[in-house]
Amino acid sequence: MKPIGLVTDNICSLPENIIKEYQIEIVKTKLYFPEAEKFPEKNLYQVMQETKAFPKTSSPSPGDFLKAYKKALKKFEKILVITLSSKLSATFNSAFQAKQLLPDPSKVILFDSLQAVATEGLLVLEAAELLKNNKEIKEVLDTLEKLKTKTKLFGFLKTTYWVEKIGRISSLQAAAFKILNGLGILPIIGINKGKVGLTGFNFWTKEVLKALFHQIKHQLKRSKVKVAINYTDNITLAYQLKEKIEKGLKLKVAFISLVPPIVGANSGPGTLIAGTMPEIKN
């Protein structure tokens, strides 16, 4: 039996090949969208655009986590559970409740990433690599704690209709977004202290690909970074960004993936996201 395994939620958006390689147990969030059943030939984003309806979402239950814990503990002595930000979802709380239901709760170590999607995925991947290299759990947790406040998420929305509808940003922020867009300024959606909101502005271009590239390039002034990319229904643009980063900045993109439907339902069609995390100096 191996010492420590990983459990996380599907909001981390890690591709299947990484999940399999590191034997990560995934707990899924839930999406309810009856309107989609009326248009079986169309994908989630096509239905959202045409109906202007938005799916309902919910966090995993304690039972969902308990099932994952039991499965992981058949292969590992202990498990490290990394969740998306507790300020965005009840997922961390469900993970905590499930821990208390185990005969020996000490076998489960919880970590609140204060991140989501690409940046949460980068933290999970970092933990997986550290554990693979036989690092002690204290060193893993200390590293994650240092990195989570330096990890940056950059997202550009096609419209604020969806995030405003579900209350992720205020009507005042949405109005500001529209005004700035009209002036050729791209507002940046990111995560600050675990919460989603407007975190900056891109004044240099109205093209999302160039704007994301600029933000990643700017991060390199501080330190070399790892990069991850998420997309909704714009896969071509996502791979163009990957190529531009790898050729122009000589950085390897850690992963590129479709955002989980629950995130796409919140951000809406046309969303492109990039996350950066400083590389650890040995």
Which two tokens mark 216? Answer: 């990643």
Q: Is 95 exposed, middle or buried (0-12, 13-18, 19+ CB in 10 A)?
A: buried
DSSP string across 108-173: EEEEE-S--HHHHHHHHHHHHHHHHTT--HHHHHHHHHHHHTT-EEEEE-S-SHHHHHTTSS-HHH
> Which residues, including other chains, have CB under 8 Å from residue 70's CB and lie 6 or more apart?
none
* Whole-angstrom distance, CA of residue 242 vs CA of residue 188: 19
CA angle 162, 163, 164 (to 5 degrees): 90
Which two tokens mark 82? Answer: 């990394």
Q: What fold is seen in the domain 2-148? A: Rossmann fold (3.40.50)
- Other CB atoms closer than 10 Å to residue 21's CB: what's the count? 13
* Whole-angstrom distance, CA of residue 147 vs CA of residue 163: 27
* Whole-angstrom distance, CA of residue 90 vs CA of residue 268: 21
**What residues form DSSP beta bridges with 2?**
76
List, for residues 42-74, the tens digit of each pLDDT value. Answer: 777 788 777 877 778 889 999 999 999 999 999
- Other CB atoms closer than 10 Å to residue 14's CB: what's the count? 25
List, for residues 29-38, the tens digit of each pLDDT value. Answer: 988 877 777 7
Q: Is 152-278 the same fold as 2-148?
A: no
Question: Domain coordinates of the chain in residue numbers?
Answer: 2-148, 152-278
Q: Please provide the CATH number assigned to the domain covering 152-278.
A: 3.30.1180.10
| Per-residue pLDDT of the chain in tens (282 residues, 90 and over written 9) | 899 999 999 999 999 999 999 999 999 998 887 777 777 767 777 887 778 777 788 899 999 999 999 999 999 999 999 999 999 999 999 999 999 999 999 999 999 999 999 999 999 999 999 999 999 999 999 999 999 999 999 988 777 776 776 666 677 777 877 777 777 778 888 999 999 877 888 887 878 899 999 999 999 887 899 999 999 888 999 999 999 999 999 999 999 998 888 888 777 788 899 999 999 875
Instruction: Supply φ then ψ for residue 182, to 5 degrees.
Output: -65, -25
Helices (H), 24-136: 34-37, 44-51, 62-72, 91-100, 117-132
